[in-house]
Amino acid sequence: MRRLHPAVVIFVLVFSTLATADPLIAGKPFARASASTIDLGRRIFEHNWARPESWTGPEKLGKGGDGLGPMFNEVSCAACHKLGGVGGAGPNEQNVELLSLDLTGTPLISARQRALDIANQIHPAFNRSNASIVLHQFGFGPDDDEQEYQAYRFDLKSRIRQENFASGDTPQISFELAQRNTPPLWGMGLIEALHTPQFRNERERIASEQKKNNRRGVSGRVPETNGGDEGWYGWRGQVSDLKDFVTSACAMELGLEVPTHLQPAYALGKSSRRRHSTALDLSNHQVMALTAFVANLPRPIHIIPENPNERRIVEEGESVFHGIGCAECHVKTHGIAEEIYSDFLLHDMGPRLADESRAVPHHDGPRVISDVTLTRVSGRSSHSSYSGSGEASTQTFRDVSHFLVPALTAPTNTDQEWRTPPLWGVADSAPYLHDGRAATLHDAIELHEGEASASAEEYRRLSDEQRSSLLSFLDTLRAPVTNNVE
Ligand code: HEC
Ligand code: HEC
């Protein structure tokens, strides 16, 4: 190995000292991005892919790419992440729809495989390692025809409602539709910094403290990804790193061809005439810029009222929040992320909040079912549990057979587990909960069950005054003031 020039060594030392001093640049290359890279990322985030000619960016978008689709949910990132400014939460109209095969009554692996094969005939994104898929809002058929997909989608949804999938010698299989509400992306760089080696022990520490103390029955676990990594992002904590999430959002939400994640194929099998290009829509550099933009979105703020009376009420509300156990899960400060109010652990929230697009169970050892080891294609974990459409990519092949073997893994109530969402900025991110079913903060708290039952019960027993001070406190947790409101 060549020896480094002493000046280089000094530079590296100084640089790494700086890097650890600022949480936003703790070891993540995109977080050191230049203003022009972040600006490029913002343009890509806001770009309407239905109108490629509207691109005003400094560099060309992917050459030969076919833009939006064939499968997509919206025309831009900003079409969903928009409340309180570009990068915010989204309303229920933009919820992502998930379709899952319900395998709870099908314990036998062979029967599960058969059910998955049948599901694959109904929608090609299902396969033996994929029991839960995104049911896209839109799809371009041959000749850019959108009608054909809408008719298929409408028919599929009505069949699901009537549960009429049994036929002849095939076993009865049932599907479940679920939704995911768009979360805000404020302060993502700080969350990304939480899983640098410097801070990642913090989450383990919180988890083991919960286990040891078992206060009010609260005991979370560290989320895992299909590939066996620690998860941080998504309502189920199913994705481990921000660039991976951003890349899969490009593919899954917009149908863009990007490095490492394939865009989903047209659901009805026939390739559409115009939109069949497999050329990249975004280069790796452009995806990095997009990630840098997301990682550099400002963190939410805490507005402390100037009026002493109001301030007293807010302070009282915060002590109620701690007093009734909300902070067991919504941990105020996590590593360097001050006032984030999350432990980033999965908690069993009870059957009312359950759905079949499950959290990844914990695995020990190799993931082998009988004599078959399933491998997945294309990328690691993804926006939901999408895993490509049968075409191999350059990424590591990894086993994702978890949902076929829930009996052999723990826990089995993965349908009820949710990652504690950070409450910073919560006053500006209604509607609430993973599917946006709660219109108000009060409704969201009322729906807490499972591990949060005791805390929710204490909430119900508060005096009107205490309850309204708690809500006043939550109301001070606001989205950052940005100048990019639509
Ligand atoms: C159709 C609406 C929609 C569009 C378009 C969309 N998102 Fe999202 N986004 C969501 C939803 C819903 C989730 C939560 C998904 C989950 O947890 O399974 C999410 C989650 C995320 C997360 C993880 C947030 C967290 O707290 O864990 C990131 C990062 C993200 N989106 C970035 C993007 C980027 C970048 C784009 C554009 C390429 C984009 N999204 C486009 C709806 C959308
Ligand atoms: C056992 C852990 C736990 C406890 C205790 C807990 N929460 Fe939660 N909280 C969660 C989880 C997990 C979710 C997400 C559930 C979902 O999306 O279905 C959540 C969601 C929320 C939301 C909605 C956030 C959003 O962005 O949608 C609010 C508001 C909230 N909690 C406030 C509270 C308050 C106030 C208390 C105390 C009364 C409390 N929580 C106690 C785990 C907990």
Q: What is the pLDDT of residue 254?
A: 97
Q: Which atom of ligand 2 is nearest to the CA of 235?
A: 17
**Contact in structure between 80 and 265 (CB atoms under 8 Å):** no
Residue nearest to atom 42 of ligand 1 (CA): 182
Vertex 218: Cα angle to 213 and 224 (nearest 5): 110
Quote the ligand 2 centre to 329 CA distance (angstroms): 8
Q: Which of 48, 74, 81, 186 to mutate to test the pocket of ligand 1 (most atoms within 8 A of CB)?
A: 81
How far, in Å, CA of 238 to CA of 386, rounded?
A: 11
To which residue do tokens 């929230």 refer?
349
How far, in Å, CA of 18 to CA of 248, rounded?
A: 31
Task: Tell me, using a 6 A CB cutoff, whether residue 459 lines ligand 2.
Answer: yes
Q: Pick the ligand that lies closest to the CA of residue 249.
A: 1
Q: Pick the ligand that lies closest to the CA of residue 179.
A: 1
How far, in Å, CA of 175 to CA of 101, rounded?
A: 4
CA distances from 250 to 135, 209, 222 (A): 16, 38, 26
Residue nearest to atom 16 of ligand 2 (CA): 433
How far, in Å, CA of 440 to CA of 434, rounded?
A: 13
pLDDT tens digits for the chain (486 residues)?
A: 334 343 333 333 333 333 333 444 444 556 678 999 999 999 999 999 998 888 888 888 877 788 898 999 999 999 999 999 999 999 999 999 999 999 888 878 888 888 899 899 999 999 888 899 999 999 988 877 889 999 999 999 998 887 666 655 555 788 999 999 999 999 999 999 998 888 889 999 999 999 999 899 999 999 999 888 999 999 999 999 999 999 999 999 999 999 988 888 899 977 665 555 678 999 999 999 999 999 999 999 999 999 999 999 999 999 999 999 999 999 999 999 999 999 999 999 999 999 999 999 887 654 443 333 333 333 333 333 333 333 333 333 233 344 444 444 567 799 999 999 999 999 999 999 999 999 999 999 999 999 999 999 999 999 999 999 999 999 999 999 875 544
Residue nearest to atom 41 of ligand 1 (CA): 77
pTM of the model: 0.89
Q: Which two tokens stand for residue 116?
A: 């998955």
Residue closest to 449 by CA, chosen among 353, 364, 381, 379:
353
Q: Which of 71, 96, 98, 232 to mutate to test the pocket of ligand 1 (most atoms within 8 A of CB)?
A: 96
Task: Tell me, using a 6 A CB cutoff, whether residue 184 lines ligand 2.
Answer: no
Q: Please classify residue 179 by burial: count the beta carbons closer than 10 Å to its beta carbon, then call 0-12 exposed, 13-18 middle and 19+ buried.
A: middle
Q: What is the pLDDT of residue 368?
A: 40
Task: Tell me, using a 6 A CB cutoff, whether residue 346 lines ligand 2.
Answer: no
Q: Pick the ligand that lies closest to the CA of residue 191.
A: 1
